[in-house]
Amino acid sequence: MRGLRAFLAKELLEIVRTWRIWVLPGIVLFLALGGPPLAMLTPRLLESFAGSQPGVVIEFPDPTYRDAYAQWVKNLTQIVVFAIVIMFGGLVNGEVRAGTAALVLTKPLARPAFVLAKFAAALALLVGSVALGAALTWGLTLAVFGQAPVGELARATALWLALGTLLLALMTLLSVLLRSQAAAAGVGLAVYFLLVILTVWEPAVRHTPAGLLAAPAQLAAGGAPPLAWPLATGALVSAAAVLAAMAAFRHQEL
């Protein structure tokens, strides 16, 4: 694909040298930093609050490393998802509105390569940020709880990244189809909430990407959620969204 390698290198360098290197990694690392301490303190705070109410006695089980892992996955699903949708709603249309897309496409750069490079660079930023956050979560969990199995955290994080990749692929498509970043973000949030609604329907959880929403938390808690179909359909939808974005941008007026 003409110009893909050079443009991807430019995109990666631009991430490192601009504000983008601070926003998503900053959010993820902040959440990772607070997760294990919060998991340790929450039961005690709730017990303290309940004890201040006359006649109310509530006891919570002692927190474990799994509570820290659950907090990490919860933060990814509830906060980082929104960051992905808002940040990458302007992945392509932002370049089109600024006129930089028209400028770089006068070079020997194919339009599909432009879209694919934007997606790949954003995915590298997402994976790198979450990997760093998972490593920090593991280290703090070990320090706080004295126990932190790597495998459980790695599997739950990798599974969440399948969901993150799906959302990033959908935002890539929406940022091509819609000229406004706000509109793309709005539709992206609607798609996310649709997936949330589908989690109440068991067949959807077992056979569609909706199963990727709850599965990381279940995995972090030591469960064994159904993974084969959610992963397969999630990968299929992700690939289809990126290919559709490349095809749509090929015929789009700049």
User: For the segment 106-116, what is each residue's pLDDT rounded down to a tens digit?
Assistant: 778 899 999 99
> Which pLDDT score is estimated for 178?
95
> Which pLDDT score is estimated for 1?
74
Neighbouring CB atoms inside 10 A of 223's CB total 10
> Which pLDDT score is estimated for 63?
84
- Over the chain (254 residues), what is each successive 10-residue block's mean pLDDT? 88 88 93 90 65 58 88 94 95 89 84 96 97 97 93 95 97 95 96 94 94 91 89 97 96 80
What is the token pair recorded at 233?
Answer: 């359909």
Q: Is there a contact between 175 and 169 (Cβ–Cβ < 8 Å)?
A: no
> Which pLDDT score is estimated for 196?
94
Taking the model in full, what pTM does it have? Answer: 0.92
Contacts of 169 (CB under 8 A, 6+ apart): 119, 237, 238, 239, 241, 242, 245
> Which pLDDT score is estimated for 60?
66
> Which pLDDT score is estimated for 18?
85
Q: Looking at this protein, which amino acid is placed at residue 128?
A: G
pLDDT tens-place string over residues 155-177: 999 999 999 999 999 999 999 99
Closest by CA position to 199, among listed 189, 214, 188, 186: 214
> Which pLDDT score is estimated for 192?
95
Q: Is there a contact between 38 and 146 (Cβ–Cβ < 8 Å)?
A: no
